[in-house]
Structure formats: structure tokens, C-alpha cells
């Protein structure tokens, strides 16, 4: 069983310490930010999106637990307006490596569907980095469909 439990302040602090550098690494891996600026830019985005920390309105921050109290991951969702409808936008979801491949992410998204229904929201949206093939496969299995795809091709400068 997987349960979403509202984050405590200590869990939020740990989430920020882990997620800010992880997001910076993803942006570098995606070729969107230079390594030299990535950490500062990541911190600035988190500060902008969560200006009141855990108490930021319209943001739901959960510890993903295994049903017996062990935290196996986290989920950050923001209630937003998109295309004239209120939706849940997933900013971050992660399952700790030692708990991966046990169905926790799938069950966390099923629990999120219940939250979305309770709040009267139209659906769930998220972004996935192109290099994260495992997450992409999970989201497709869960019924998400691509709405925008950005692509990039590096060109060798050559000799001339």
C-alpha cells in the first residue's frame, strides 16, 4: 500500500536540499542550463514557485509512504489554471532508489487521482525530461499523453 501524507517541515527542508540540486542536474543534462549557473537558477525557481515554503497557497506537498510509515518518496503538486480548467500540475515526484520498481510511483499517482477528484480538478499535467526514459514509460503506462515535445540536435562545428 502506498499513502500520500502531507509533508512535515523537516521533510520539506530535506525535499529542498535534495530537489534543488537534482533539478539543476536535470536541466544541465537536458542541455538547458550551463553547469556554472544551474544550482543558482534552480534555487531561484524553487524560491519563486514556493515563496512561502510549505505554506505556499495552491501547492500540495506530500511524503509518499509505504503504508506503515516509511517514507519512500515525495510528490509536489500545484493547483493551476490551464486552458480554462483547474488542474493539478506535478512539479516533482520521486521514489528513493531502494524503493523503486515496487509500484510506489504508480500507486502515488492513483492516490493523486483521488485528491484531484476530491478537489474537483479536471486532470493532472506534468513535464518529463527527454533523457528520463523510465519516467516517460511510467507516465505513458498511467495514461498520460504528450501535449508538447521539444527536441534538440547538436551540430558538430567541424573544421570550416
Q: What percent of the chain has pLDDT over 90?
A: 78
Q: What is the pTM of this model?
A: 0.88
Residue-wise pLDDT for 32-76, tens only, equals 999 999 999 999 999 999 999 999 999 999 999 998 989 999 999
Counting DSSP H helices and E strands in the chain, the numbers are: 4, 5
What is the phi/psi pair of residue 146, to 5°? -65, 135
Angstrom distance (rounded) from CA 91 to CA 50: 11
Angstrom distance (rounded) from CA 1 to CA 58: 26
Q: What percent of the chain has pLDDT over 70?
A: 99
User: pLDDT class for 152, splitting at 50, 70, 90?
Assistant: confident
Amino acid at each position: 500500500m502506498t499513502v500520500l501524507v502531507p509533508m512535515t517541515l523537516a521533510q520539506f527542508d530535506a525535499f529542498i536540499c535534495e530537489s534543488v540540486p537534482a533539478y539543476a542536474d536535470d536541466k544541465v543534462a537536458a542541455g538547458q542550463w550551463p553547469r556554472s549557473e544551474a544550482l543558482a537558477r534552480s534555487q531561484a525557481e524553487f524560491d519563486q514557485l514556493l515563496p512561502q515554503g510549505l505554506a505556499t497557497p495552491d501547492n500540495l506537498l506530500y511524503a509518499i509512504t509505504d503504508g506503515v510509515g516509511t517514507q519512500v518518496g515525495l510528490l509536489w503538486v500545484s493547483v493551476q489554471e490551464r486552458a480554462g480548467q483547474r488542474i493539478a500540475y506535478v512539479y516533482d515526484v520521486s521514489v528513493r532508489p531502494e524503493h523503486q520498481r515496487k509500484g510506489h510511483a504508480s500507486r502515488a499517482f492513483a492516490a493523486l487521482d483521488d485528491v484531484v477528484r476530491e478537489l474537483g480538478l479536471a486532470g493532472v499535467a506534468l513535464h518529463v525530461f527527454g533523457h528520463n526514459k523510465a519516467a516517460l514509460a511510467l507516465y505513458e503506462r498511467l495514461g498520460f499523453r504528450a501535449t508538447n515535445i521539444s527536441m534538440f540536435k547538436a551540430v558538430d562545428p567541424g573544421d570550416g
